[in-house]
A and B are shown apart, each in its own frame.
Chain A
């Protein structure tokens, strides 16, 4: 096996391939860092260009774009509290809190290293267990997905902040927004009010941009600060190797979650980042730091997000089943280059598979290098006065939300999202639960209805299948765990708050 991998590296060790991967990673980071331009879009737009070059250049380029974009999303998430892609939404919570404390550099470095770690971790899993993982993924059917999504929904509790009730209200609103559009099974219009633009539902990305970016800009304006607001990228202490490695438990756990979620068809980084974030906050020794600037939170979200990148190739390579839009595009690109994924690929083109593994590892190292360069450049963003920066951010946000579907309606969604976002912030209602439930509710509904179609309406299907039953048990335990810690916390916080008040409330 080691020989094969070495051989794969040899195949990749030429200038064209390395340059293509490097250009791809850079293009990806930039695209990902611009809110509204997603990994999917970057890959889709760039695919036709690769038809004209050999696969040994085209494929590394596309994989570089994909990885770079998933990482790039974390940069604006930390610096301006706006996730560049949906995969970085969980990073905003702690990443931006750290930045506000003047520790932007630590947060950015943690995000980068966590991404690289998660990616590498998942690549190694891919090398040794691709076939096995793919087999497990195929065992998943609608009832199992239903239960997995239900479990993911419990992560709302982890991001609700102080008030669970407000979190649940936000989550309910998200689920209701998710209902808008064509019914997934019968095709009937729901709550579209005859507006054709609403038939496709409210798009997540424009709303995400509106709810995160606009309130950030508006609230900054209210403060009328003349000083630098998006936090200086080089501000604050560096992340030491010792500190990074002290999070190994979180990193390994989150990367495993990311690798597993990524391997399931239809699940990707957007969901994995929340599950990893929620699970880590629960398993953490310092759960009270979550939401207020936890390095662990950034590590969990980012390592899981990038671990999905190699993992989502699993069902595609092993069975030619594209798990999500990005892999569907990649599958098309592979075929265009006469590489036909599927069970025969492992037997007939072993060397190609290992070359692909080599590409994944090499582009990951490039991500590390260019990510560090990107972090260094962020210093320049810090020197831009608010009066210039905020309008540019707003303009970029609207351009980005238009770019998602070439839709003017989406810009209205962004605007409304922005207004609602400001109100939610003023009332201390967390935005994250709304985003999570908007992300999950439509798939949850679809899977519940598919399951009930399978079982002719019997709910038994959710407990008779081992995977579904196991996940249901996990969900129950998770809710019980949150309830228990909530009760315990409310006791200890009342103690803590009284001490804080005595000290003059500096910590708040």
Chain B
């Protein structure tokens, strides 16, 4: 079945392969690897609605969920390297899972075009949890191994990795329960069933403001503008940086001039005032990185995550 899809993509691609210098001479597809409704599909909706003016051709949003993002990535990695199909990737799809799971694509099957933005994770504790800062949390976890129960998302997911990094940095053992997504996970913290969670600021900030959860720390180099009183994890005593980026990647082997054109188009999109306004309206921001900077970030991140995964195995 995959061959069929690849065949389809190939026929579409061949019609224009000869005219690579005219890129793009037909609509480009941006593939969201997750189900509609999450932050990825919202971002993709904004990007695709404004891209045409900068790309010269419409950018079509394709939603292709499945296998936690692995299906879309596998299909693109197996498709044509002509620049007409872009992956809306993230660290779990592009850096973590291909290194530690048996997937049909590898980390270097993709070339970075642009990082659109990123979200750090905010560690929070339930209102009734027996700790209210990172020091207390680590002490509690040390004194009570595996008694600190936290809400996790999925194996190798955003929250999952945040806690693995914390456990590794602090040398503690805590018990994660996977709830599959941010919504149910935070509901279990607020309901008092679990003690802690780490997630996207857009999801947790309101609960911090209303006092339903206690903020612990932010997994970033700087404090987050929506919660300026909450320290970074480094300030709070554990050196953890975990940035969940959203970025555009294309299949490795795409001609350099096509890559350059795409990088140029996404630079212009991220500078667009209207784009910044719309991104702000979905409570997100633009933290643009160009292709080479993004490539550097990926290299560092892939090494870090590999080290974390190897540490986990032991």
- Chain A residues packing against B (C-beta within 8 Å): 40-41, 44-45, 47-48, 51, 138-142, 182, 184-187, 195-197, 199-200, 265-266, 315, 319-323, 325-326, 328-329, 332, 335-338, 340-344, 405-409, 412, 446, 450, 453-454
Contacts and interface: CB of A to CB of B under 8 A. Distances in A.
Interface of B: 1-2, 4-5, 35-39, 41-42, 45-46, 49, 62-68, 70-71, 74, 101, 103-104, 149, 154-156, 175, 177-180, 183-184, 186-188, 190-191, 193, 202, 206-207, 209-210, 212, 278, 281-283
A325 B63 contact: no
B36 A329 contact: yes
Given A325-B37, A454-B177, A197 B46 contact: no
Contact of A41 (B36, B103, B186): B36
Contact of B155 (A187, A323, A408): A187
Given A44-B36, A138-B187, A51 B177 contact: no
Given A44-B41, A196-B104, A184 B178 contact: yes
A172 B246 CA distance: 41
B37 A196 contact: no
B292 to A, nearest CB: 31
Contact of A196 (B46, B71, B155, B184): B71
A315 B37 contact: no
A169 to B, nearest CB: 29
A60 to B, nearest CB: 18
Given A138-B190, A328-B183, A196 B278 contact: no
A142 B179 CA distance: 9
Contact of A199 (B5, B46, B70): B70
B62 A332 contact: no
Contact of A45 (B36, B207, B278): B36
Contacts of B71: 196-197, 199-200, 407
* Listed residue (A40, A48, A412, A453) with the most chain B CB atoms within 10 angstroms of its CB: A48
Contacts of A138: 187, 190-191
Given A40-B36, A187-B154, A265-B183, A405 B66 contact: yes
Contacts of A186: 155
Nearest to B4: A408
Contact of A405 (B39, B42, B64, B149): B64
A303 to B, nearest CB: 26
A200 B66 contact: yes
B46 A48 contact: yes
Nearest to A443: B180
A450 B150 CA distance: 11
A325 B206 CA distance: 20
